[in-house]
Structures are given as structure tokens and as C-alpha cells.
Amino acid sequence: MNPYDQLRDDGRPIAPDPRFARRLRARIDAELAPHIELPDRLPHDPSNDPSHDPSIDTETSTMSTPTRQILTPYISVHDGPGALDWYVSALGATETVRYVGDDGRLGHAEFELNGAKVMLSDAYPEMGVVAADSSEGSSCALHVEVPDCDAAHERAVSGGATSLSAPADQPHGARGATIMDPYGHRWMFSQPVHALSHDEINANYDDFEVVSRTQDDRP
């Protein structure tokens, strides 16, 4: 049999697997890409750095400097592309990266909101990644400082969010509001208004008390 006839079904060409086509295209692009020879790097001389302090031992300074830890929220949703678009339109976020899998699911995405980075993906139950339930809510909330709590709340609700608490001045000195987005996640908007001492906060509360831990009490 002619080998080309094996690629046909009832005289019609068989569509190739799109994943195979993408992998083949990537291999061809890689083979055709120009090869650029980069010059050898010269050893770094810290004395040429204008910010270098000669009194600091560069061999040990990096080991003694504490590393800053950054905690980034990573949420999962039932409609990744839709959720990402909603956060941009209803919360004023800025999308920065998006990875879409072969099955159409959002494998990873990131957006920024008032300087804070949030990561999200579609649900992957086969990997133990499940989306928040819009009726049951989620076990955590995303707290973000905003310049105008009332405007942020109004924009979110107008975009389809459910208001859980309307904007109001809080005993701890901030103006806050809470919404539930259409994808099951709670957002707490906080607008700093007054910087209060612990005594002033305690005077505003009837059922809570700020308890400060001294240095000796800390583990």
C-alpha cells in the first residue's frame, strides 16, 4: 500500500494532533533560530561597583544577610480565563502572565492589584487542586489595601460581586468592606484612615482586645 494512502480516511486527509503540531513547530523554530556566540564574561570586580563598601567582606556578607520572605496568594477557580478577565475589569487588576494548557485550562496566571501579586489557575482535581465553591466560599480571604474603599467596593459589586459587608469605618482605624467574587473568593478592601494605638483600639472594641507580645514572650 502506498504509505501516503495510510494517511487518508475515505479520501480525506487526517487532521494532525494539535499537540504534535505545536511540538514539531517548536523543534523546527529551534533548529532554524540563529546561533549567537556570546563573549566570555569577565570576572566581577566588586571594587568597580560604585555602591561597594570596601569595609564589607563580600565573601561572607551574602551569607549573613537575612533573605526577605515573600508570601504570594495562589488561588484556583472554576473558570480561569473568565476569572482573570473579571479581576481585571471589576477589581482594576493588571494581568502580567498567562499559561494555557493543551486542554484549554489555565495552568498558571498572575496579576497585580495595588502593587500586590496574586497567582491563580484553573482547578486540577487530578492533582488535588480544587476551586473555591461560590456557595460555600473559601477558607481564606484576600486582604488588599486600596486608596478608596467605597469606590473599590462599588466597582466590584457593579461587576457582579456579592457584597458581604458594606464600606464602614473599623475600630482598628481603617475603612473596610468585604465582597465575594463570582468564583468563590472573599476580598477584603482596607483603606488606612487613622493610625491608632493599642489603647485607642481597645477603647473602640467591646468584644475584642489587642494583646501585645513582648520580646521575652516570643519563641
How far is Cα 46 from Cα 52, in angstroms, rounded to an integer?
6
pLDDT of amino acid 18: 65
Query: How many Å apart are CA 136 and CA 185, to the nearest integer?
Result: 10
What is the rounded distance in angstroms from the CA atom of residue 48 to the CA atom of residue 65? 22
The torsion angles phi and psi of 214, rounded to 5 degrees, stand at -80, 170
Mean pLDDT check: name the lowest of 19-23, 147-151, 181-185, 207-211: 19-23
Length of the chain: 219
Answer whether 103's CB lies under 8 Å from 126's CB: no
Of the chain, the percentage scoring pLDDT greater than 70 comes to: 63
Task: Give the pLDDT confidence score for residue 134 in this predicted structure.
Answer: 57
Q: Which residues pair with 64 in a beta bridge?
A: none
Percent of the chain with pLDDT over 90: 43
**117, 114, 111, 115: which is closest to 84 by C-alpha?**
111
Q: What angle do CA 143, 144, 148 make, to 5 degrees?
A: 130
Q: What is the mean pLDDT of residues 173-197?
A: 92
Of the candidates 132, 111, 109, which has an alpha carbon nearest to the alpha carbon of residue 121? Answer: 109
Domain boundaries, the chain: 74-211
pLDDT of residue 142: 94
What cell does 193 get?
A: 484612615
pLDDT tens digits, one per residue of 108-146 = 999 999 999 999 999 999 988 888 875 666 778 999 999
pLDDT of res. 62: 44
As a whole number, the mean pLDDT across the chain is 79
Q: Please compute the mean of the pLDDT values over residues 172-200 and round it to a whole number.
A: 91
C-alpha to C-alpha distance for 154 and 4, rounded to whole angstroms: 63
> What is residue 61's predicted lDDT score, i.e. its pLDDT?
45
Give the CATH superfamily of 74-211.
2,3-Dihydroxybiphenyl 1,2-Dioxygenase, domain 1 (3.10.180.10)
Cα distances (Å, whole numbers) of residue 163 to 35, 91, 93, 120, 219: 56, 13, 19, 22, 39
Q: What is the pLDDT of residue 209?
A: 84
pLDDT of amino acid 60: 47
> Confidence band (pLDDT; 50, 70, 90) for 63?
very low
What mean pLDDT do residues 81-93 have?
Answer: 96
pLDDT attached to residue 208 = 83
Higher pLDDT, 93 or 40: 93
Confidence of residue 201 (pLDDT cuts 50, 70, 90): confident
> If you search the block for the grid coordinates 479581576, which residue do you land on?
87
Q: Which pLDDT belongs to residue 199?
A: 86
Q: Please tell me the distance from the alpha carbon of residue 165 to that of residue 188, in angstroms, as a whole number.
A: 9
Q: E strands within the chain? A: 8-9, 12-13, 74-77, 94-100, 106-113, 116-122, 141-145, 162-169, 174-180, 186-192
